[in-house]
Amino acid sequence: MQLVRKIVVLTTAGLLLAGCQNNPLIGQQTLTPSTPTSTTVADISAPSGKTKTTEVSPAATDMWQLTRKHLQLNLDNDKPRLQSQFKWFAKHPEYMQRVTTRASRYYHYILSEVIKRDMPAEIALLPIVESAYDPFAYSHGRAAGAWQFIPGTAKHFGLKSSWWYDGRRDIVASTDAALTYLQQLHKRFGDWELALAAYNCGGGNVSKAIRKNKKKGLATDFWSLDLPKETRAYVPKLLAISRLIRDAEQLNIPLAPIANTPAFELVELDSQIDLAQAAELGNITTQELYQFNPGFNRWATDPDGPHHLLIPVANVDQFRAGLAELPANQRVNWARYKIRSGDTVSTIARQYKTTSAVIRNANKLQGNNIRAGQYLLIPSAKHQSSDYVLSQSQRFNRKQNQLAQSNRTKTSYKVKSGDSFWKIANHHDISVRQLASWNQMAPGDPLRAGQTLTIWKSPSNQGLSRSDAQLIRRIGYSVRNGDSLYTIAGRFSVSIDDIKRWNKLGNSKYLQPGQKLTLYVDITKAK
């Protein structure tokens, strides 16, 4: 949508994950299958400490069977756009196998919520179109998560965003927001196809197209409206996928089996917890814990909430037992730091790989004024960074190691009086966010005269360094009026040199509206 963009999202290995593709119908998305998991989800309304599971339908033992029982849209019309999409999917059964495998962690929960709201089961398949059911998906339009919310829309629907957490990637929170939004659109337009179109391109564009057709005396159904090209393909894709799910057996299309039992249960915590420690309590890997809880970007949950975790059903009893024996004040490691002369909140924050705001909040500081001899309590990870496989610090270390092993040149810059992130970044032809990230700082952190910053320069002919496929996405970006290399670099937290290198722009400083660029974006830094 104008609100929720769907452009090609790929991993660094070139794996196409979601949205618009090179293929005019739907690009050949090649996903890395997720590790098979228990294919169930718990009733999240269960009180803390109790396991309350409710089967959506006793008669349906498989989620695809349950999906077929609740399909409501017209999947058999003969519109060419629908037929073309259906033919593509029917010719690529391996795609459906891969994407349904990825969906196995989340599909029972999402379909259950859809049915509870008496919505068409087709809605539970929408994340296939949006993100290929990848909660780490990120688009050039700054849309993130399985439902691809952009920041503005996410905020409107109450999805929290902080240094610790991004609600757009939270399976429970984002699903609730997406379904609420779709219900509002359905109430507005009175038709699910129009509601879906509005989810993609915005309600204003759909209303404008309807008014235009009414003035001409034309029909105002989805198929008759003059909508953006992407939207004209968006609804047919969903209908084609739904039809393929319905007719999978006749078409001999393999779908990853998903049992009608919970895959995870929401466990209340009441406080912040170290994620590596939480994984140990449940006898699961931190990788798996992050996959069930992709909203958390750091080594711990957000100290301001949400205070809950999604835990695989098979491990929930062990997790609850371990949690009950662990006092809240021991769920996060606290370092007691004695302030020294010359210390600032920001320098202490960098030392402990946290933020100034976290230290201020933990110590109830109104500002950044501190005195030598005082003590501060600082939350810090209990385990080594390598144990937090998708955390910011682990990503940073991995990135620094890769940069050091690449052809990039590492230079140092000593901050001068009057310097700012913007001034330094502009001088070195890099983005502010890139400069800050190289030095484990936030763009808003203060700089001190004499401080040394690390800057990485890369030759224009170097390709993208290898990185974690779950954090780096290749996206296509169409240059807009007013865009420059600097504004695009800042928007996606990449360097100008990288944009030039990825797109072989040489020394060119000018871009043309409509020009296509390829970007490699770290989804946990892009805003």
Q: Which two tokens stand for residue 356?
A: 């100034």
Has 249 been annotated as catalytic?
Answer: no
Stronger pLDDT, 40 or 312, i.e. the higher one: 312
| 500-513 pLDDT per residue, tens | 888 888 777 788 88
Q: Residue 166's beta-bridge partner residues?
A: 161
Helix boundaries (H) for 338-380 = 345-351, 356-362
Q: How far, rounded to the nearest angstrom, does the alpha carbon of residue 87 sit from its chain's CA centroid?
A: 30
Q: How far apart are CA 108 and CA 64, in angstroms?
A: 10
| Amino acid sitting at position 283 | N
State the pLDDT at residue 383: 62
pLDDT at 429: 77
What was the pLDDT predicted at 163?
A: 86
pLDDT reported for residue 264: 97
Q: Is pLDDT above 90 for 51? A: no
DSSP code, position 386? G
Nearest CA-CA partner of 349 in 445, 424, 235: 445
* CATH number, span 471-522: 3.10.350.10
CATH of 334-379, one of 3.10.350.10, 3.20.20.70, 2.60.40.10, 3.90.25.10: 3.10.350.10
Is 406-466 in the same CATH topology as 334-379?
yes
Distance CA 376, CA 358 (A): 11
Structural element, H or E, at residue 380:
strand 375-380
**All structural domains of the chain with their residue ranges:** 63-251, 334-379, 406-466, 471-522
Task: Say which CATH topology domain 63-251 has.
Answer: Lysozyme (1.10.530)
pTM attached to this predicted model:
0.68
Q: Is the pLDDT of residue 166 over 60?
A: yes
> Which CATH number describes the domain made up of 406-466?
3.10.350.10
Task: Give the mean pLDDT of 152-180.
Answer: 96
Given CA atoms 84, 86, 92, 97 in this order, what sign does their dihedral have? positive
Span 185-243, pLDDT tens digits? 999 999 999 999 999 999 999 999 999 999 999 999 999 999 999 999 999 999 999 99
Q: What is the C-alpha separation between 324 and 26, in angstroms, rounded?
A: 49
**Active-site entry in 130, 265, 280, 288:** 130
pLDDT at 440: 65
The 10s digit of each residue's pLDDT in 265-322 is 999 998 899 999 999 999 999 989 999 999 998 889 998 899 999 999 999 999 999 9
Check residue 492 and give its pLDDT.
87
The pairs formed by 153-159 with CB atoms below 8 angstroms and a separation of 24 or more are 153/1, 153/3, 153/4, 153/181, 157/181
Burial of 47 (0-12, 13-18, 19+ CB in 10 A): exposed
| Bond from prior residue into 33 cis (ω within 30 degrees of 0) | no
What's the mean pLDDT when you consider all of the chain? 81
> Confidence class of residue 404 from pLDDT cuts 50, 70 and 90?
low
**Rounded CA separation 52/45 (Å):** 8
388 confidence band (pLDDT: 50, 70, 90):
low
Could you list the beta-strand ranges (E) of 190-297: 264-268
For residue 379, is pLDDT > 70?
A: yes
Burial bucket for residue 404 (CB in 10 Å: 0-12, 13-18, 19+): exposed
Its sign, for the CA torsion 485, 487, 490, 492, is: negative
Contacts of 94-98 with C-beta under 8 Å, sequence gap 24+, read 95/28, 95/29, 95/30, 95/31, 96/241, 96/244, 96/248, 96/253, 96/254, 96/255, 97/33, 97/254, 97/255, 97/256, 98/30, 98/31, 98/32, 98/33
- Mean pLDDT computed over 352-374: 85
Give the largest Cα separation in the chain, rounded: 79
